[in-house]
Structure 1
Amino acid sequence: VAARSPEPVTPSLSFPQRREKIERRQQEVENELKMWDPHNDPNAQGDAFKTLFVARVNYDTTESKLRREFEVYGPIKRIYMVYSKRSGKPRGYAFIEYEHERDMHSAYKHADGKKIDGRRVLVDVERGRTVKGWRPRRLGGGLGGTRRGGADVNIRHSGRDDTSRYDER
């Protein structure tokens, strides 16, 4: 048996280096947050209150397949699948705008966890333009711990609770 050379050891960052890296990232996030404005995003079109966010979509799922799966809840105005700018490959999420808000609400209530092309999708409302103070996960926001379990475990600040404007109608 031939002796194998040990795995190369990558030096870990020292404490000052780690702190420097964290501070640099925080500065980047602060700069991006100043520039982030979902209301002036050219990709965000249509009525935010009629738009559904669909995540964990299989990379092989087509727009027409999404349309077939979600049209059962009502007529769809448009579907925007998100693709990587660099590679052109799907990012695994999409925005679906319905003709009527009640249809979006119905899809929001019933389609969460639906299996499409072998993957269970996550369905949620569009939060960027509808929930005041919400930030995307890449900027330190997102849902965080709001989907852990029952009402006693979940944090109720994300807009996904019983007092949501979607439940009033």
Structure 2
Amino acid sequence: MLTLQIIIGSVRQGRGGLAVAEWFEAIARKDPRFNVERVDLAELALPVMDEPNHPRLQRYTHAHTKRFSEIIARGDAYVFVTTEYNYAIPGALKNALDYLGPEWAGKPMCAVAYGGVSGAARAVEDLRRIAVALRMVPLVEGVVCPLYARQRDDEGRFHGNLIQIEAAAETLDTLADMGATLKARRLAAN
């Protein structure tokens, strides 16, 4: 079984990402190929990168970094739930990605993007470039939720449409396939 981490990239008060993440998480939890963990950057409250050593060395000095490292290291695949801030990923997500190095490497990632008309497409491209630099394996599959606010009910819950539900299933299939392959490779290297 693969550990799939759903990472919520926005920490903004009133953010829509939590509702979108909960929707995707409910689908993922029904998939027996995954042990699903939610990683909410708002709950982690990482300060702006404050480690004195380069992340590739993994010589962390702060308890918050050590904890975050342990969380991310146990993941086998990642789904980043992101919106778009000024044509890029949210600063809190970039900060979290920059905290670590080897923990991310050799693992597949996809995005569930939500936002306005563009559905955060530019943020996803930004995220993929960063993922490559961190030696993750960005996959083409993902879910796009343009104008996502129109799909929220009176309680704020997000309800995916048929296309988004199908995209979620395709995303999970690809993460399961690539995740298993890359996990076997990581285990063989150790």
Q: Normalising by structure 1, report the TM-score.
A: 0.26
Which has more helix, going by share of residues?
2
Q: Which has the larger radius of gyration?
A: 1
Q: Normalising by structure 2, report the TM-score.
A: 0.24
